[in-house]
Amino acid sequence: RRRKGANKFPLPPGPKGLPLLGAALSIDVSKPWATYVEWGAAFGDLVYARILNMDVLIVNSAKVAHDLAELRSINYSNRPYLASVAPYGLDTGAIFMSYGDTWRLHRRLYHRALNSEVSLTHRPMQLRKARQLLLNLLDEPKRFPAHLYTYSSSIILSIIYGHDPAPTNDPLVELAEKGMEAIVKGARPGTAALLQIFPFLLKLPTWIPGSFKAEAAESKQYTDDFRAIPYKMVKEKMASGTDTPSMMSDAIKRNESKGDLPEVTDAIIDACPVAYGAASDTTAFTLQVFILAMVLFPEAQRKAQEEINRVVGCNRLPSFDDRASLPFVEALLRESLRWHPVAPLALPHSTTNEDVYEGMYIPKGATVFLNSWAIAHDEKTYPEPFQFLPQRFLKEDGTLTEDNIPYAFGFGRRVCPGKHSADASVWIAIVSMLASFSFSKEKDEQGNDIDIEPKFTPEVTSRPEPFLCRIVARRSASDTKEMVMQDLDQHF
Ligand code: HEM
């Protein structure tokens, strides 16, 4: 199995597997990133495995990730072919797109709308949505996952379409949610793998068990609608002069001034809904991880609240202006990204050409998993990696270390283009929630704490499995509401 490259270097070491299936059966599908860490312990920071019919490389350390994805980024920025992507209608967006000119055009659109400077202009809107999140949590604390999703999705809809969704039954939100379901189904590694080996499953009549035909067709319909309908909406608003600035309207205007290039129009239509797909779950899931950590590690919560009381006081809510004065809260945000990165394997990259790294042969077209979870749980960098210890990001003098968890947002040329916006959304939500609520374990009928064993879903974007928790306002409910309303009056 040790194939030799053109230049006779051996492949990196790795697990042996069965014909056809390769090492697939030895992967723990509930947390593949942890299997890859075990392989790393046995074989090293760069592991080669044949999985199904694919050459797969697993990168388990920050150094190798940097050497390959950053220093040799030109060769490690492609995406692998996934057999489910086109049938499910997911092939038009940057996330799954091959490295090339169309992808570069999409990245330019994202950069213009989401770079660090433009992201500053989104802050008032993010602050307003964070305050709305507090009101929602106050009203229905048990529905916190839904409120976090409403928070993240309403921010991204505002950024990309200038759309402020209705609190319930918003047609664009409903369409977007269907689109997200499609993405999750189409991006499931199991679906992609099955279709890769058995492409006829897409052609089987829908009544035959195992057919993917209906699911793929439905998914494609939703993704087509989610491209066409918001575009029509924004164009109509622009025509009637009622549009608000957004990624889409700004890009359309810029394109009009340059002669309405059809390929740019296509890219605008395709790139905007993909930003929704990339932003909504990741942001909401990161906030779920934060709440889970607050419940399990009350000491970290206590210290952060003590810092907020000391710096901001108890008579107002924190705002972006307070960020630099709240190092412990900053450290707590970083620890939330590290403790469970919501994209534990980033998104798979692939090689454009063959390569040789430290005497090992890397095939052309190999799928490369950059294991953020392994980097985040490397004991040498983060002692006691399964504990939630924000203070690991603070120096003795109380200032922050240089480590701002860049790998949580991916690698090299594929790094998340929404990271500035995401960082601000997560920060203002975390600091607002800490200032207003206490998070603790739910009690049973006898008043005893209900224990939680933290578990996370195995999808490409991974969130905590549903867990019970008590979310209680730190002041009385009426005082909290009054403070939020006063804050909204003051800012808007
Ligand atoms: C906490 C929130 C977020 C996290 C943790 C996150 C993380 C990631 C990661 C790990 C990747 C894969 C990078 C790689 O392949 O190496 C990615 C890609 C991407 N993200 Fe984010 N993201 C977040 C929020 C956002 C937001 C708010 C947006 C848009 C407004 C966004 C847009 C994208 C896009 C378009 C890609 C695909 C880039 C490409 O393939 O070239 N993300 N993100």
Cα 416 to averaged position of ligand 1 atoms, centre (Å): 4
* pLDDT band at 204; cut points 50, 70, 90: low
Does ligand 1 have an atom closer than 6 angstroms to the CB of 127?
Answer: no
Q: CA distances (Å), 371 to each of 69, 289, 326, 339, 401, in order?
A: 12, 18, 30, 14, 22
Per-residue pLDDT at 460: 86
Q: How far apart are CA 413 and CA 73, in angstroms?
A: 6
Residues 309 and 304: their CA atoms lie apart, in Å, by: 9
Q: Tens digits of per-residue pLDDT, 417-438?
A: 999 999 999 999 999 999 999 9
**Confidence bin at 452 (pLDDT 50/70/90):** very high
| pLDDT bracket for residue 23 (50, 70, 90) | confident
Complex ipTM value: 0.99
**Which of 85, 90, 114, 409 most suits a substitution to test ligand 1, by most atoms within 8 Å of the C-beta?**
409
Residues whose CB is less than 8 angstroms from the CB of residue 136 and which lie 6 or more positions away in sequence, other chains included? 143, 147, 150, 151
pLDDT band at 357 (very low <50, low <70, confident <90, very high): very high
**Which range, of 184-198, 342-356, 377-391, averages the lowest pLDDT?**
184-198
Q: Is 416 annotated as a binding residue?
A: yes
- With a 6 Å cutoff on the Cβ, whether 417 touches ligand 1 is yes
Is any atom of ligand 1 closer than 6 Å to the C-beta of 95?
A: yes
Model confidence pLDDT, tens digit, residues 274-284? 999 999 999 99
Cβ–Cβ < 8 Å for 345, 32: yes
More confident residue, 22 or 436: 436
> Atom 24 in ligand 1: which residue has the minimum CA distance?
279
Residue 223: in which H helix or E strand, if any? helix 213-240
How far is the centre of ligand 1, averaged over its atoms, from the C-alpha of 419 (Å)? 7
C-alpha 360 to ligand 1 mean position (Å):
30
Closest listed residue to residue 284, CA positions, set 151, 193, 165, 404: 151
Tell whether ligand 1 has an atom less than 6 A from the beta carbon of residue 463: no
User: What are the pLDDT digits (tens) for 227-242?
Assistant: 999 999 999 999 999 9
Check if 156 has its Cβ closer than 6 Å to any atom of ligand 1: yes
Looking at residues 337-365, what average pLDDT do you find? 96
Q: Does any ligand 1 atom lie closer than 6 A to the CB of residue 192?
A: no
CA of 320 relative to ligand 1 center, distance in Å: 22
Percent of the chain with pLDDT over 70: 92
Question: Measured between alpha carbons, how far is 56 from 193 in angstroms, rounded to an integer?
Answer: 13
CB-CB neighbours of 240 under 10 Å: 8
| Confidence band of 24 (pLDDT split at 50, 70, 90) | confident
At 1 the pLDDT is 47
Nearest atom within ligand 1 for CA of residue 286: 1
| Residue 260: partners with Cβ closer than 8 Å, 6 or more residues away | none
Residues 157-177 have pLDDT tens digits of: 999 999 998 877 888 888 888
Residue 59 near ligand 1, beta carbon < 6 Å: no
The mean pLDDT of the chain is 92
- Residue 135 pLDDT class (50, 70, 90 cuts): very high
Q: Which of 14-28, 31-45, 109-123, 138-152 has the lowest mean pLDDT?
A: 14-28
Q: How far is CA 162 from CA 234, 255, 411, in A?
A: 8, 18, 29
Please tell me the distance between residue 114's alpha carbon and the centre of ligand 1 in angstroms: 11
Give the integer Cα–Cα distance in Å for 68 and 412: 9
pTM value is 0.94
CA atoms within 13 A on the CB side of 136: 19
Q: Is 274 in the pocket of ligand 1 (CB under 6 A)?
A: yes
Q: What is the pLDDT at residue 83?
A: 81
How many Å lie between the centroid of ligand 1 and the Cα of residue 178? 20
Output the residue whose Cα is nearest ligand 1's atom 36. Answer: 416
Ligand 1 within 6 A of 409 CB? yes
Q: Give pLDDT, residue 86.
A: 86
Determine the distance separating the centroid of ligand 1 and the alpha carbon of 272, expressed in angstroms. Answer: 13
